Amino acid sequence: MNWDQTNPKSRRGYHHGNLREALIEAAMRLIGEKGAAGFTIAEAARAAGVSPAAPYRHFRDRDELMADIARRGFESFAAALRAAWDRGRPTPREALMRLGAAYLAFARTEPATYVAMFESGLAMSRHPGLHAAAEDAFSALREACETIIADIPPPRRPPALMMALHVWSLSHGIASLFARGDVARRPLPMAPEELLEAGVLVYLDGLGVPERR
């Protein structure tokens, strides 16, 4: 096989001379086909149409390539969650339901990215940029929960972090089981959004969160 990068015919995935983006695109295709742990960096290079040594110009190893994909995913995820929340308008409850729907939509429309974000097994401590992006995405949910519980009297007000972790766990579980956009999605006799909304409403009622008018 000809690995000459100056020959356009050999560069199936090497678009416009942007090696980094070509490798990320190739890795995303492989994640969709084989999962987060199902390929090597050499396979990503081959899928991008470049030499086995080419990826090391940008990525120290396969984990660094995966971390970059996951970081970008969390940045897009955070933006989607904040746009759905829209500062809690028109009411925090309605906005929280939109945020939950946005969570499920991301898993459905960006399945390879979702896998890279949550199933790559990367140690966050080794990838500061990924850790910061993931924390920023979670902070969007935590900020929503802080607004939601603001109307609960202080003696009965739960910690915002605890609530955010509960809602996140519920959203992530439903997304991973029933809303993802790949073959791992399981059948469900209702829309995943309906299941999530029902679960969150039961949770809010259990906390005694008043419904704003």
Q: Do 80 and 102 meet the contact criterion of CB atoms below 8 Å apart?
A: yes
Q: Which amino acid is at 210?
A: P
Given a cut of 90, is residue 5 above it in pLDDT? Answer: no
- pLDDT tens for residues 48-71? 999 999 999 999 999 999 999 999
Distance CA 54, CA 48 (A): 10
Q: Which amino acid is at 132?
A: A
- What pLDDT, on a 0 to 100 scale, did the predictor assign at position 213? 56
- What pLDDT, on a 0 to 100 scale, did the predictor assign at position 124? 94
74 closest CA partner among 27, 38, 128: 128
- What pLDDT, on a 0 to 100 scale, did the predictor assign at position 28? 95
Distance CA 58, CA 122 (A): 18
Rounded to an integer, the average pLDDT of 83-98 is 96
Q: Do 30 and 38 meet the contact criterion of CB atoms below 8 Å apart?
A: yes
- What pLDDT, on a 0 to 100 scale, did the predictor assign at position 183? 80
Return the CA Rg of the chain.
20
- pLDDT tens for residues 186-199? 999 999 999 999 99
Name the average pLDDT for the chain: 90
- What pLDDT, on a 0 to 100 scale, did the predictor assign at position 17? 60
Given a cut of 70, is residue 75 above it in pLDDT? Answer: yes
- What pLDDT, on a 0 to 100 scale, did the predictor assign at position 201? 96
pTM: 0.87
Given a cut of 90, is residue 153 above it in pLDDT? Answer: yes
Least confident of 7-16, 81-90, 131-140, 201-210: 7-16
Q: Which amino acid is at 147?
A: T
- pLDDT tens for residues 111-126? 999 999 999 999 999 9
- pLDDT tens for residues 14-52? 444 699 999 999 999 999 999 998 899 999 999 999 999
